[in-house]
Every structure is written in C-alpha cells, then in structure tokens.
Amino acid sequence: MNTKSEDKKISRRSFLYSSIILSTGFFSYPAMSVAARVQSLSRDTYPDIGLALGSGGANGLAHIPVLETLDELKIKPAVISGTSIGAIIGVLYASGYSGHELRKMALDLFAPDESLFGSWWDRLTGAGLSGLLSPGLGDGVLLDATGIMEFIQKKIRVKYFEDLDIPVKIVAADYWRKKQVVFSSGEIIPAVNASMAVPGLFAPVEFQGRLLVDGAVVNPVPYDLLLDECDFLVAVDVSGVKKKVNEGRPSYLDSIFSTFEIMQQAIMDEKLKQRPPDIYLRPEIIDVRLINFLEVQNILEQAEPARIQLKALLREMLEIHAEK
C-alpha cells in the first residue's frame, strides 16, 4: 500500500494548534494546544495514550478501523473507556483481539443471509444478530440480550476486569438515582450488559443493588474518565449522521432511536465545550439505523476517511515526541 498517497499530509500548524473533529467537515470547538501536550511529555517515556469508544449501535463497528490504525502504528492504549457498543468492542480488544481480528469477526457475524431460510428476525429488524438476539416482547422490551452476552463471554475468555490485557472503564446509568456508574473491576459481563441496555430495546439490568440502563443516557463518549489518566487522549464518536428527511411521522423504532440520538448529541455538545480531548474523531457514517448491523461493510467503508486522517495525526504526534 502506498502510504504517501494514503496519508494526506496534515500541516504541522493545523496539528499543533487545533483540537480536531475529523471527517465531519467542520471545526466547532475551541482549540487546545496539542503541541503543548506533546512537548510536556517526558523525553524518555513513551506517552500513555487513552482511548474512549462511544455508543452508537451498529455505527460502533466504525471503532474497528480505529483499532486497526493503532495496531499498525504499534500503539497500545494505556487505558480504554467505553459506552454501549464501545464497551463491547473495548473489552474484546482489551482481551487480546487485534483490530483485524475484530473486523473479521464482525464481517463473519453480520454477513446477511438472503436465502429463503435466512433468519426471519433479521429480515424483520435488519439487525443481523440471528442467534444472538431474540424477541423479548413478553418482557416489555424488543430484544433479549442473553445470547449476545454469552457470545461476548465466550470470546473474551475471562470473567473479571482484572484479567484484561488493558485496563477498561465501562459506563452505565443508574435508573433510579439518575447517575453515571463506572465499572472497572469485578465481573465484566454484567457491566457490559448494563452499558448496552438501550431503553425500550433491552431490559434494564439489576446488578450490585442497582437497576442499570445504557450508559449513553449519561455519557455517550466517556473520554472525561481518562483526562487525568493519560498523556494523550483519542475519543471516538460513532453517533453517525442523519441526512434523509422523511415526510410524515417517524415509525415506532425510529422515534425511539432518533430521540435517543438527539439526547446524546446534546450531552456531547456540552462536554466538548468544557474540556475537549486531544483528538476527537467522528466518522461520517450516514443514515445507518441503531440496530442495522447488516450494514457492516458499508459502515467500515464509510469510516475509512476518518481512519486515514487519524493515522496521519497520530504519526505527527509520535514524530513530535521523537524529536524532543
């Protein structure tokens, strides 16, 4: 691969003086001096890089190219935080899977079956989660997550946070107390289950004396958990972009999911005004519904421009640090 043509050179001025939102076409938040951050690091110590992986349902598959970029540059995060799909991919990566292995897993898992015998549930919902998710209407919710939790447990092959190769922080929300809950020790699966319990889609999770729901309702991209724990911070927002404007009222599912996304965007707007991360990456994933995992190939392709920009930025950061 021709890296010179692939990695468009980002000017040193734009790198040094901008906190960048990548692949959305605009710069909407006050700049932080990335140069100051890099120059303040110890000359002899490799910078601790934190990685925050956000919520976004199927769009979260766009986290995979980010992880592939880190692997290619031989960057191992010192710590990872994740919400919802970000929590799932974060613990898989922290358990030892490479970005390339996660790509293969996703492509295999969500390959559409267009045959007559393909899953009726997949055809109805467009989810691509046959065998992992089953209808949960009898419990007052749309889906039962038991299958996917068993799948994740089998894949990570460890039970406790302490056994992961990279420390991970997972965000959920306490339903009754209306507060953020952060898990970084103890059992992994209940924490992941709670973090992805989208209201109306999955049932709330009872764990450690709390009733927990999706962490995205309080912290969609939990980079703030890592601000004081690393030298350099990359946050990945996979909330996606809606461009289609449909006439009439939204469907039941679209109403739930789109309202959820509006809330998350409002939270992120306020967080970014206060203290943005060093790199805020937002791949432009267009018009993919929350549970449409059958769009895996499309999502990965749409994330490619952001991956290229991130790779160039991280190379600049490493070069500046090496020149010190």
Catalytic residues: 84, 214
String of DSSP letters for 50-113: EEEE---GGGGGGHHHHHHHHHHTT---SEEEEETHHHHHHHHHHTT--HHHHHHHHHHHT---
Tokens 């932080």 belong to residue: 32
How many Cα atoms occupy the beta-carbon half-sphere of 269 within 13 Å? Answer: 6
DSSP 250: P
H or E segment to which residue 179 belongs: strand 179-183
Q: Are strands 143-144 and 134-135 parallel, antiparallel or unpaired?
A: antiparallel
Q: Which residues contact 134 (CB under 8 A, 6 or more apart)?
A: 121, 143, 144, 146, 147
Closest CA to 170 of 126, 117, 225: 225
Residue 286: alpha-carbon gap to chain centroid? 16
CA distance 200 to 50: 32
At 37, is the secondary structure helix, strand, or coil?
helix
With beta carbons less than 8 A apart as the criterion, state whether 133 and 119 touch: no
Closest CA to 283 of 64, 38, 123: 64
